[in-house]
Structure 1
Amino acid sequence: MIQSVAVLGAGAVGSYVIWGLSSRNDIRLGVIAEGERAVRLKKDGCVINDTVYHPEVWAPQEAHNVDLLIVCLKYGSLQGALDSIKEIVGEHTTVMSLMNGVDSEEIIGEKVGESHVLYSLIKVASHKEETGYYFDPETTIGIFFGELQAPHDSDRVRAIEHLFQDTGIHYFSTEHILAELWSKFRLNVCNNLPQAILGAGVGCYHDSVHMKAISDGLRKELEAIALAKGIDLTKAGSASVHGSPVPPSARYSTLQDLDAGRHTEIDMFSGALIRMGKELGIPTPYNEYTYHMIKALEEKNDGKFDYTGKINKRTCSK
């Protein structure tokens, strides 16, 4: 039985977990934070769908040996958080990573031991506004989790099913968690990245044959790599093949990051596929172009191409 849950990363993904588990009065629920962030969370709580939630706030050492650690970080923050994760994980701690991508479990497992990691993913169309985080609980697809090997109906799988039961969290235990992870990865790469370059809502894939062609090119490269790694994407369930319903104006996480002037998770998406493609001898030209374009857009946000007031002597004439 799970009696204590720690959430590392109280952003768009972590908010869904906090929202759901706050309804449980029989567990301790805490957010991992230190310094000014911890002070702010203790004072202001977490605003989710216009409601203020006040989970406990724990430093990593205070959360040591928690029953369940749910990692909801942005990819770029993971390396810096590994020591904290190791400090939290005790002998009986299970770790679920709800991060995007397909390699966070391996990275965490190398730090704390693979036996602690239960593979998982989340599909939630959550976004941040000035007043907090927002998502539609009814249309959210939810959390998938499962063991890599039999027995798939393990004690910890049953414990997490019991934890999520009657919380409002949508959840699915599966025998094909790798196929589910790569199915979500495919959605992110094919739907998240092209719109980020264009700067338009997801309706662009329906309304433009050119955007669809880019998306299809990214898809073919990813599916070739998955096939070479022995991952059968047809095993993914129907609930995970598509994302949560969104309007044509929706802007996924990569474009949200660029809109806000933040660096993206492109290293986890096309960056990872380029690396795997090189290891497997599979060309990835669509992903290479997409990677460099989004990196250039990050540089633009950083002000690298602000040439206002600068004179290019080579192009000026008297």
Structure 2
Amino acid sequence: MEISRVSIIGLGALGILFGYQLSKQMPKQNLRIVADQNRIHKYTSHGVYCNGELCEFNYMTPEQPCEPADLIIFAVKENGLDDAIEAMKKHVGENTIILSALNGISSEEIIGRTFGHDKVLYSVAQGMDAVKVGNQLTYENKGMLCFGEREAGVDSEKMQRVANFFDQVDFPYEVDVNMMKRQWGKFMLNVGVNQTVAVYETNYGGVQRQGKARDTMVAAMKEVIALSKKEGVDLSEDDLTYWLQILATLSPEGKPSMRQDLEAKRYSEVELFSGTVLELSRKHGIQTPVNRYLYDSIKRIESQY
């Protein structure tokens, strides 16, 4: 069964980036951006722009009747996931495949509880340097979506369907048959980069060059490596090197979402990053002082809003 109808929920940086790319290759009516009426009014009144170009999106409210989507992409923040799951119920059918572009290592499990784990492919968005300010998204590197089944070594029909579709629409992707390791690797990168850039009030350039910020970032990532071994994922120094190489490709002027959140005085996803690290450190009896420092620093910043 070919993929022809795609629904996206969440018009943050990734939602706009994915929607913009797909809108160039798909009939407008087949790409649905799902949002409540207030958000749709804001989007249509002020416009949504990607690298200076107005995005001509097809918007739908969760209540509108529709044919189920062949592919759903969740691109909301972690604190909006429960509402997003409720909003997408009319878009899920028997053969729907679901990808989650959320940060962290838990969203697929949460989505699967409602819609069925058989519909969910594990995925990671990586290599993007998109920055969203107001209704304007800018990027230099559009990155890619990596996806696969939760179980290692499996090459499923769902994976092939998504790969065939992404080939047709020229959407950058990579199939991975060890998605748990890939997801933990991206989690390790986020724990280091997002939090360090936020605390040091810098940008990607601030952790791409040698110095105290980069040392802090790498130390935070190494704490995740230690925890991964206890969780049966077994990240290594080679994985650290791989993700640092991904970081090196990003625009030095770009900023991760957590830095953008704190600049705008929005509450961040700190619980998803160092909050998760601290929870796992208690579980396994491992000290994670760098993530404790980053967690406390970010909480202190947020307490001053």
TM beyond 0.5: yes
- Correspondence for 1:79: 82
Contact 1:42 1:57 in 2 (8 A): no
Q: Which runs of 4+ in 1 moved over 4 A?
A: 42-45, 234-241
- Correspondence for 1:105: 108
Query: What are structure 2's unaligned runs of at least 5 residues?
Result: none
Contact 1:45 1:55 in 2 (8 A): no
- Structure with bigger gyration radius: 1
Q: What are the equivalent positions in structure 2 for 1:65-214 lying under 5 Å apart?
A: 65-123=68-126, 124-130=128-134, 132-136=136-140, 139-149=141-151, 152-205=154-207, 207=209, 209-214=211-216
Equivalent position amino acid for 1:297 in 2: I
Please say if 1:12 is aligned against 2:20: no
Q: What are the equivalent positions in structure 2 for 1:230-241 lying under 5 Å apart?
A: 230-233=232-235
Equivalent position amino acid for 2:195 in 1: L
Equivalent position amino acid for 2:9 in 1: L
- Correspondence for 1:307: none
Q: How far apart are residue 157 of structure 1 and its match?
A: 1.2
Q: How far apart are residue 33 of structure 1 and its match?
A: 0.8
* Superposition RMSD in Å: 2.5
Q: How far apart are residue 161 of structure 1 and its match?
A: 1.3
Q: How far apart are residue 244 of structure 1 and its match?
A: 6.4
Q: Distance in 1 between matches of 2:66 and 2:232?
A: 37
- Correspondence for 2:291: 287
Moved more, 261-270 or 152-161: 152-161
Q: Deviations over 1:174-201 (max 9, x none)?
A: 1111111111111111122112111123
Q: Distance in 1 between matches of 2:214 and 2:145?
A: 28
Q: Distance in 2 between matches of 1:248 and 1:56?
A: 33
Q: How far apart are residue 79 of structure 1 and its match?
A: 2.9
Aligned residue for 2:110, secondary structure, equals: helix
Equivalences, count: 299
Query: What are structure 1's unaligned runs of at least 5 residues?
Result: 303-318
Q: Distance in 2 between matches of 1:246 and 1:229?
A: 29
Change (3 A) 1:134 1:212: closer
Change (3 A) 1:198 1:150: closer
Equivalent position amino acid for 1:93 in 2: T
Q: How far apart are residue 203 of structure 1 and its match?
A: 3.2
- Correspondence for 1:243: 247
Q: How far apart are residue 150 of structure 1 and its match?
A: 6.4
Q: Distance in 2 between matches of 1:236 and 1:169?
A: 25
Percent identical residues? 28
Q: How far apart are residue 82 of structure 1 and its match?
A: 2.9
Q: Distance in 1 between matches of 2:66 and 2:270?
A: 31
Q: Distance in 1 between matches of 2:79 and 2:267?
A: 9
Q: How far apart are residue 10 of structure 1 and its match?
A: 1.4
- Correspondence for 2:48: 46
Contact 1:86 1:111 in 2 (8 A): no
Q: Distance in 1 between matches of 2:240 and 2:188?
A: 14
Aligned residue for 2:297, secondary structure, equals: helix
